[in-house]
Structure 1
Amino acid sequence: MTLGRSGVPYITTWSAEESLPTTVIQRPGGGIAYLDETLVDRDENGVLWQRVPSRPGRGRPEFGKVHPLRQRRAMRRLLCGICGGVPDRTDEGVLWLVRDFRGDWPDWPDGMAATEPPVCLPCAHRSVGACPALRIGFVAVRVGQSTVAGVYGTVYQGGQPFPAPVDDAVVAFDDSAIRWVQAAQLVRELGDCTILRAMPERRDQLWQRDRPGVPNGVGDGTQAHPA
């Protein structure tokens, strides 16, 4: 399923992909499980994942709602989140489009926990005008290295007769709270990042590093604004 054939991003959920009914219980040693849990409900790190069938193209697209399995696949294999193909890559790294929060900490976005997959160059240009979040303000970033570091999902707390959801959060694999998470999205920690001044139209155009005094606008002259 690609944007070129359907006009719908690869990781978007369709209306026929409704979450399957589950009963979340507390495990004897702590953490959560499904009452009727099977091997496919957990990943290789032992994290419990949402149960959502994969039926892309059936029904209507639910824009803004991310499909857990396809997002997880795109993040693990580093696929374009829009078309499901190979993302754009240069010697500086893989291309990501992210909301502009460069004022959050020094050296942002190094250390950022990303749930959005990378993008290929054609999809990057299309998504700038199509994605409401990116229209608010974005930056194009080359990511030299990224590590699968955790998940984003619903955090539960223990209780009787059943544990209760208390928050949606990013939780690292090495955090003891990971036992209490029902995962919805895979997280990569971004590193060795280069903020780009402009998004090229062609592969043979030079990418320029962000410099002091350069406007935040990227691409077709759109001015980015802090959220």
Structure 2
Amino acid sequence: MIPPYVTAWSGEQDLPHRVVERPDRGIGFVNELLSDRDQHGVLWQQTMLRAGTGRPEFGRVHPLRQRRAMELLLCQVCGCIAAQNDDGVLWLQRDHRDDWPGWPEGMASVEPPICVPCVAVSLRHCPALRRGAVVVRVRDCSVVGVRGVLHRPGVLGPVAIGAVTMSYGDPGVRWVLASGLVRELRDCTLVRFEELADQAA
């Protein structure tokens, strides 16, 4: 199996950076570059770009490729444009309909969308999806925030305190070292797998 586009490889290690507190109450890197932040001013984990080097690490997502796939609505598996029609952009999700009424309406997703041919590939190869998955068309999938590691001030510098998902509107986002872009899924319609098979034929 060819590893998904967003999968990190063993040759793609995080670049060493020292996180420091900034005067404007947030975190930054020593010798920070403009490219270390997104358009909202949030600091991002910098990781080597060496896809195909070493072995794929299926449990690890490459921050830059995930961000690119989410920004451009690319398929998380092949990296091409995700499936879109009048009903919205196509997403493949683990089935969490028991989590709340109307799921996945309002869900914050760090998983990029998908194209029709890659749905079958994902269902065949991903153990988590084999336990239950749904295909969803999403008409409104606005970028709302980031997933990453929250920091707090410390005596010797900022201290990492754990993983969070935080909206761009939250002042605390200045203390997050981001590794994933988040889109909120709204105006969702569940799609039967049989309908996708017809589209792929």
Give me the TM-score of the superposition, normalised by structure 2. Answer: 0.95
Kindly state the Cα deviation for residue 35 of structure 1 after the two structures are TM-superposed.
1.4
Q: Aligned match of 1:186 in 158, 181, 189?
A: 181
Q: Which residue of 2 aligns with 1:34?
A: 29
Q: Which residue of 2 aligns with 1:212?
A: none
Q: Could you tell me which amino acid in structure 2 is paired with residue 155 of structure 1?
A: L
Kindly state the Cα deviation for residue 90 of structure 1 after the two structures are TM-superposed.
2.4
Q: Which residue of 1 aligns with 2:197?
A: 201
Kindly state the Cα deviation for residue 105 of structure 1 after the two structures are TM-superposed.
2.1
Q: What SS is found at the alignment partner of 1:45?
A: coil
Alignment partners' CA distance in 1, 2:120 and 2:174: 39
Q: What SS is found at the alignment partner of 1:145?
A: strand
Alignment partners' CA distance in 2, 1:49 and 1:160: 23
In structure 2, relative to structure 1, the CA distance for the partners of 1:164 and 1:141 (3 Å cut) is same
Alignment partners' CA distance in 2, 1:136 and 1:157: 37
For each residue in 1:38-73, what CA deviation from the matched residue of structure 2 results, as whole angstroms up to 9, or x when unmatched? 111101100000010111111111112100000000
Q: Which structure would you say has the larger RCO, counting Cα contacts within 8 Å and 6 or more residues apart?
A: 2
Q: Which moved more, 1:141-150 or 1:196-205?
A: 196-205
Q: Which moved more, 1:123-132 or 1:84-93?
A: 84-93
Q: Which moved more, 1:130-139 or 1:192-201?
A: 192-201
Q: Which residue of 1 aligns with 2:142?
A: 147
Alignment partners' CA distance in 2, 1:157 and 1:30: 10
In the TM superposition, structure 1's runs of 4+ consecutive aligned residues that sit over 4 Å from their partners are none
Contact residue 153 and residue 159 of structure 2 kept, 8 A: yes
Q: Which one has the bigger strand percentage?
A: 2
| Higher Cα Rg, which structure | 1
Kindly state the Cα deviation for residue 198 of structure 1 after the two structures are TM-superposed.
2.7
Kindly state the Cα deviation for residue 29 of structure 1 after the two structures are TM-superposed.
2.4
**Residues 90-129 of structure 1: pairs in structure 2 closer than 5 A:** 90-129=85-124
Alignment partners' CA distance in 2, 1:142 and 1:67: 25
Contact residue 108 and residue 184 of structure 2 kept, 8 A: yes
Q: Which residue of 2 aligns with 1:72?
A: 67
Q: Could you tell me which amino acid in structure 2 is paired with residue 161 of structure 1?
A: L
Unaligned ranges ≥5, structure 2: none
For each residue in 1:74-122, what CA deviation from the matched residue of structure 2 results, as whole angstroms up to 9, or x when unmatched? 0000000000001122221111011111122222111100011111111
Q: What SS is found at the alignment partner of 1:191?
A: strand
Q: Could you tell me which amino acid in structure 1 is paired with residue 147 of structure 2?
A: Y
Q: What SS is found at the alignment partner of 2:199?
A: coil
User: Sequence identity of aligned pairs in percent?
Assistant: 50
Q: What SS is found at the alignment partner of 1:128?
A: helix
Kindly state the Cα deviation for residue 204 of structure 1 after the two structures are TM-superposed.
7.4
Q: Which residue of 2 aligns with 1:9?
A: 4
Alignment partners' CA distance in 2, 1:8 and 1:104: 29
Q: Which residue of 2 aligns with 1:130?
A: 125
RMSD: 1.4
Q: Could you tell me which amino acid in structure 2 is paired with residue 116 of structure 1?
A: E
Alignment partners' CA distance in 1, 2:184 and 2:4: 22
